[in-house]
């Protein structure tokens, strides 16, 4: 197909993240123009079901007038202010109060930033600062996991456990250690039960901690369900089994709720769904339903007290972003949570989950599909070259990306992560729209055979 004018302009001026840059002309670009409900429309007027909520974030879909109004009102009243040097504003206060109310663990205060990466980066800085305040400057290493995704800053890309986030970026930095990915389908040994798999991973984690020395390890960071690593849902016993090992060695658990937060897994937070007992929590994405960028770290009292005590010793607390707690994001965040509460987002996800699971699991019979996994309204469809041996396609074949593109032909946007197709529809999706999403998915898979 010849390029449209807007596509040509895009190619001449824009770099696309997470894209094979050498193939961008083959791929598109697909230039979107507007959205309504669970649908987005390109510049030619073609309709797509947004099966990924953008990047796991537009949980209330597109064109929500209440959010537009909340944003407009805030822009008129006070389009910008900051929290530096003791300044404050009502939307930042109200959102922090709401977050404390719904948090998955005891939270004392909230520190704002703009993106998931910034929130996780802040977590690490605060934990280092905290350990310095506690007089243990050697307790600084952070454990993450293979296939984790925590962002793209120097530190958070280091925590991310995906090769292309490290390769040629000179990462990971020191002080980061990766332990196993809890994906039973891919990483279990022949004949190993799920429980044996969990015990082996827990044993490896203990060995890592003991080899490094627990006095050198500050924290472990984990997503309840790994998203960008290919939708990895750990076995139910995984977090309950590793949590005591962390507690025993005084290692804090940082809960990265950037994808799982705000109802996605059938609870307010993925930590509840997966049995995590975190010390601190990072949130972003669905906190504002993606109508504005905003993220936050939610901190327990003992950390807040240590930060305050350290400030008393050394003066100014030297951290903060110009746009951290931006009033536009906070006003939208307050309205978003109000809408989630009014529509009972947790109840809604739980009531749609059985249909989602049924349609997902039915895909397992498709010749291209090796494994299907889902929880709440998030899932992954892993494509394989050989179902019996689980053999993957050669990466160069780009089968996942090809099927995702075929989906676009059928009016469906999914996200290919290697050969796993991620599905994460807006949580406002209706039952009929959900069926339509899966009907289009089947067409894309059939075309991809």
| Chain positions contacting ligand PLP, by CB under 6 A | 55, 115-117, 120, 149-151, 223, 227-228, 256, 258-259, 284
d(CA 41, CA 364): 30
Q: Which is nearer to ligand PLP, 259 or 421 (CB)?
A: 259
Nearest to 328 by CA among 69, 57, 59: 69
Q: Which is nearer to ligand PLP, 228 or 289 (CB)?
A: 228
The 3 state secondary structure assigned to 399-442 is HHHHHHHHHHHCCEECEEECCEEEECCCCCCCHHHHHHHHHHHH
Q: Which residue, 284 or 360, is less far from ligand PLP as judged by CB? A: 284
Residues 6 or more apart in contact with residue 346 via CB below 8 angstroms = 263, 266, 267, 268
The token duo for 252 is 């804090």
Least spacing, CB of residue 53 vs ligand PLP, in Å: 11
CB nearer to ligand PLP: give 259 or 369: 259
CB of 20 to ligand PLP, least distance (A): 19
142 phi/psi in degrees, rounded to 5: -120, 130
**Minimum Å distance from CB 264 to ligand PLP?**
11
Residue nearest to ligand PLP (CB): 116
Strand order in the sheet with 252-256: 109-113, 295-299, 280-283, 252-256, 217-222, 141-145, 176-179
Instruction: Pick the closest to residue 410 from 382, 439, 431, 435 (CA basis).
Output: 439
Least Å distance between CB 295 and ligand PLP?
A: 7
Nearer to ligand PLP, 116 or 448 (CB): 116
Nearest residue (CB) to ligand PLP, 117 versus 371? 117
Instruction: Give me the least distance between CB of 118 and ligand PLP, in Å please.
Output: 7
Nearer to ligand PLP, 115 or 288 (CB): 115
Q: Which is nearer to ligand PLP, 55 or 337 (CB)?
A: 55
> Using alpha carbons only, what angle is made at residue 381 by residues 376 and 382, rounded to the nearest 5 degrees?
135
Please state the closest distance from residue 13 (CB atom) to ligand PLP, in A. 22
Give me the count of residues in the chain.
449
User: Quick one: 7 or 280, whose CB is closer to ligand PLP?
Assistant: 280
Among residues 384 and 424, whose Cβ is nearest to ligand PLP? 424
Helix/strand/coil for 176: strand
Smallest gap from residue 284 Cβ to ligand PLP (A): 5
State the Cα–Cα distance between residues 195 and 122, nearest whole angstrom. Answer: 34
- Which residue in 60, 36, 109 sits closest to 287, CA to CA? 60
For residue 286, how far is the Cα from the chain centroid? Answer: 10
Report the nearest approach of ligand PLP to the CB of residue 340 (Å). 19
C-alpha span between 93 and 352 (Å, rounded): 33
CB of 344 to ligand PLP, least distance (A): 25
Residue 364 neighbours by CB under 8 Å, 6+ apart: 371, 372
For ligand PLP, the closer CB: 7 or 144: 144
Rounded CA-CA distance 390/373 in Å is 15
Least separation, in Å, of the C-beta of 306 and ligand PLP?
25
In eight-state DSSP terms, residue 362 is H
| Strand order through the sheet with 47-50 | 32-36, 39-42, 47-50, 412-413
Name the minimum Å distance from CB 115 to ligand PLP: 3
Q: Concatenate the DSSP letters of all residues of 229-265 into one string.
A: TT-B---TTHHHHHHHHHHHTT-EEEEE-TTTTTTTT
For the chain, the distance separating the N- and C-terminal CA atoms, rounded to the nearest angstrom, is: 22
């Amino acid at each position: 197909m010849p390029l449209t004018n807007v596509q040509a302009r895009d190619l001449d001026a824009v770099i696309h993240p997470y894209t094979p840059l050498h193939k961008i002309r083959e791929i598109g670009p697909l230039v979107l123009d507007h959205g309504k409900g669970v649908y987005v429309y390109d510049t030619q007027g073609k309709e797509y079901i947004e099966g990924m909520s953008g990047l796991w974030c537009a949980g209330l879909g597109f064109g929500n007038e209440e959010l537009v109004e909340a944003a407009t009102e805030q822009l008129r009243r006070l389009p910008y202010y900051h929290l530096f040097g003791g300044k404050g504003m009502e939307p930042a206060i109200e959102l922090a109060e709401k977050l404390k109310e719904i948090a998955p663990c005891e939270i004392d205060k909230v520190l704002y930033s703009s993106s998931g990466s910034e929130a996780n980066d802040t977590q690490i800085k605060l934990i280092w600062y905290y350990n310095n305040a506690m007089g243990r400057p050697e307790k600084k290493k952070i454990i993450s996991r293979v296939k984790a995704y925590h962002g793209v800053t120097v530190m958070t890309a280091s925590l991310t456990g995906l090769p292309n986030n490290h390769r040629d970026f000179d990462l990971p930095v020191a002080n980061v250690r990766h332990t196993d990915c809890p994906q039973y389908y891919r990483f279990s040994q022949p004949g190993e039960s799920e429980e044996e798999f969990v015990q082996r991973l827990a044993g490896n984690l203990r060995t890592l901690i003991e080899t490094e020395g627990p006095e050198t390890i500050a924290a472990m960071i984990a997503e309840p369900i790994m998203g960008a690593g290919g939708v990895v849902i750990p076995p139910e016993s995984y977090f309950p089994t590793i949590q005591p090992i962390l507690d025993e060695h005084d290692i804090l658990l940082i809960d990265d709720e950037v994808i799982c937060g705000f109802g996605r897994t059938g609870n307010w937070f993925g930590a509840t769904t997966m049995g995590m007992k975190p010390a601190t929590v990072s949130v972003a994405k669905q906190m504002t339903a993606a109508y504005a960028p905003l993220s936050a770290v939610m901190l327990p009292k003992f950390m807040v007290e240590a930060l305050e005590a350290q400030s008393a010793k050394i003066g100014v607390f030297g951290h903060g972003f110009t746009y951290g707690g931006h009033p536009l994001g906070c006003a939208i965040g307050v309205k978003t949570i109000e809408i989630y509460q009014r529509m009972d987002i947790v109840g809604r996800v739980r009531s749609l989950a059985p249909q989602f699971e049924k349609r997902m699991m039915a895909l397992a019979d498709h010749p291209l599909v090796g494994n299907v996994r889902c929880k709440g309204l998030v899932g992954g469809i892993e494509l394989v070259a050989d179902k019996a041996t689980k053999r993957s396609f050669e990466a160069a074949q780009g089968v996942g990306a090809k099927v995702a593109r075929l989906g676009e032909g059928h009016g469906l946007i999914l996200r290919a992560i290697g050969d796993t197709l991620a599905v994460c529809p807006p949580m406002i999706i209706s039952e009929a729209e959900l069926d339509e999403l899966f009907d289009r998915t089947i067409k894309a898979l059939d075309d991809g055979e």
